[in-house]
Amino acid sequence: MASHAFNSRMAALSLAALGVVYGDIGTSPLYALKEVFGGAHHPVPITPDNVLGILSVVFWSLMIVVSLKYVVFILRADNKGEGGIMALMALALHPLQEDSWLRRFIIVIGLSGAALFYGDGIITPAISVLSAVEGLEVLTPTFKPYILPISLVILVGLFLVQRRGTATVGRLFGPIMMLWFIVLGLLGIASIVHNTKVLQALNPLHGLRFFENNPILGFFALGACVLALTGAEALYADMGHFGRRPIRLAWFGLAMPALVLNYFGQGALLLQDPAAIENPFYRLAPDWFVLPMVGLATMATVIASQAVISGAFSITQQAIQLGFAPRMEISHTSEQEKGQIYLPSINWTLLLAVIALVAGFQSSSNLAAAYGIAVTGTMFITDILAFIVARHVWGWPVWKAFVGALPFALIDLGFFSANTIKIADGGWFPLIFGLMVYLVLSTWRRGRDLLKTRLMADAMGIDGFVDAIDDSITRVPGTAVFLTAKPTIVPQAMLHSMKHYKALHERNVIVSVSVDDVPHVEHSKRIAVQPMKNHFWQVRLHYGFMERPNIPQALEWCAENGLDLNPMDTSFFLGRETLIPRISSEMSFWREKVFVAMFRNAGSAAQFFALPPNRVVELGTQVVL
């Protein structure tokens, strides 16, 4: 009975993973081979040898990069069950000293990978939806003028519904994507039956001969072949939602076989009719099935886009918790699923970027030039971080970690190099966008460190301060809770409170919130309460980078440690700094100005920590950076 229940749960999780995890890579057949053989950038001539060679490259890339690297190996590098570039960075940082050069290096490449992920998050919705709607051209050329407007309407609608969450439509993701993969496989089989010669491409020698006979063209072709791998990073990023086993079952059980069959089916079609390169994906379908196929493809691409948008929300939340981004408004869209969140500022930023991208590039073929560099850059950074994790977290010998990472790194570096030649044709977009995101993330981190240094310069130790409190200080009824980033010093808000009110509350609780390098913190380790002299208390709260702090809720649990707070008799004091930039050698003036602008527009600390609005007092101070 238990075994049956376990199998049922695995089946349900695998179906859900199919919908969320494999949407991006599952829609790659819409444009991958079309771009290889018919794209505007170094198209490969359609000959039997070339078709078999490219199919062999695509097949073995899926086997090595997706199946072996991600599904078998990278999924093992989890941070307490969570995956993704930020979780991997946090895992790599965990055992290192605060001021080590390796720690600084990991932060730089980790933030670079996160920045490229945002670029991927913009391009995926644009290229996926455009390529799906372009199927209307297969029906009749009269639809061509309407492809762009229809795509924009679908994309705008997708971003507009984000605030409602994916709890309701999410239930349909799995069944729709299962139908999508089944149709991919059946269309591929129907085409392969008419030309079984394409099955020879399973032999890797065809791929090797293709590169041997066409070294330069083969290098250029890698830049388009990588389109078949887009979405592989999602396997790792969404591990926390489903776990390793369901993701692996969904890949090997349906997604991978269906993708291989469809690519080989398109190859068989091209061998029979090279003119089908106009749109080999839709040409696989009979004429009567093209319109339903456009509808199914559109739903599949919306699902793929949804997964990437949700990933952008998730990675932003992690960046905020780890101290690399300012506080933002975060809405939880599901009472059951804690991972379903919505960030309005990120949502509208992505929408504007996607609209600009679609309007600027006009077609999926033009967008393909911009796509690969973001994906391959993130993949290569994952290789580096995985090597560091294997060496410093798992304790592997250097040679073992190096030998394990080297083959994957060389392959990803090859794909990345092939995409660098497309920078002028569109690859500049994710690089420029990624650079902007990197500057925002790194500037915020550097600015916070600089602000902390300035505040610490005038800080007073909490122990000496508490010892100096005597009966001459007026006490007022109630409890004051002071939030501070450094529990060993007197909070600025407390000093200003005494300066203005010339009094202290009966009880004073100094609360610090730490975000650890783990996704979730056990409830037993959430709180540390330490009583001090003169009715002072220190409370240290620990959260994971996937959690949202709720200070009033955490303080309720302090009763078990002798600190029983009455919510109606408790006031929360926050310090609010006004920053003044200055020219200094520690940080460039323009970055200081950027940091000050972000600091002023950061979300409310009271809202971020879930403090009751009618119990909050903010006291300000000026700080010269």
Q: What are the structural domains, with CATH classification, of the chain? A: 7-446 (1.20.1740.10), 458-624 (no CATH)
pLDDT confidence band for 125 (50 / 70 / 90): confident
Q: Are 235 and 70 in contact (CB under 8 A)?
A: yes
Give the separation between CA 136 and CA 117, rounded to whole angstroms: 30
For residues 499-521, average pLDDT = 84
Helix H or strand E encompassing 21: none
Residue 255 is predicted with a pLDDT of: 92
Looking at the predicted structure, is the pLDDT value of residue 339 above 60? Answer: no
Q: Are 57 and 210 in contact (CB under 8 A)?
A: yes
pLDDT confidence band for 3 (50 / 70 / 90): low
Residue 210 is predicted with a pLDDT of: 93
Of the listed ranges 183-187, 505-509, 519-523, 597-601, the least confidently predicted one is 519-523
Residue 67 is predicted with a pLDDT of: 92
- Burial tier of 73 (Cβ tally within 10 Å: 0-12, 13-18, 19+): middle
Give the separation between CA 223 and CA 601, rounded to whole angstroms: 40
SS3 576: strand
Residue 182 is predicted with a pLDDT of: 95
pLDDT confidence band for 279 (50 / 70 / 90): confident
Residue 51 is predicted with a pLDDT of: 93
Looking at the predicted structure, is the pLDDT value of residue 238 above 80? Answer: no
Give the separation between CA 431 and CA 115, rounded to whole angstroms: 9
Looking at the predicted structure, is the pLDDT value of residue 324 above 80? Answer: yes
At 545, which amino acid appears? F
Residue 82 is predicted with a pLDDT of: 75
Looking at the predicted structure, is the pLDDT value of residue 126 above 70? Answer: yes
pLDDT confidence band for 166 (50 / 70 / 90): low
Residue 421 is predicted with a pLDDT of: 85
pLDDT confidence band for 49 (50 / 70 / 90): very high
Residue 53 is predicted with a pLDDT of: 94
Looking at the predicted structure, is the pLDDT value of residue 151 above 70? Answer: yes
For residues 277-296, average pLDDT = 88
* Residue-averaged pLDDT of the chain: 84
Looking at the predicted structure, is the pLDDT value of residue 455 above 80? Answer: no
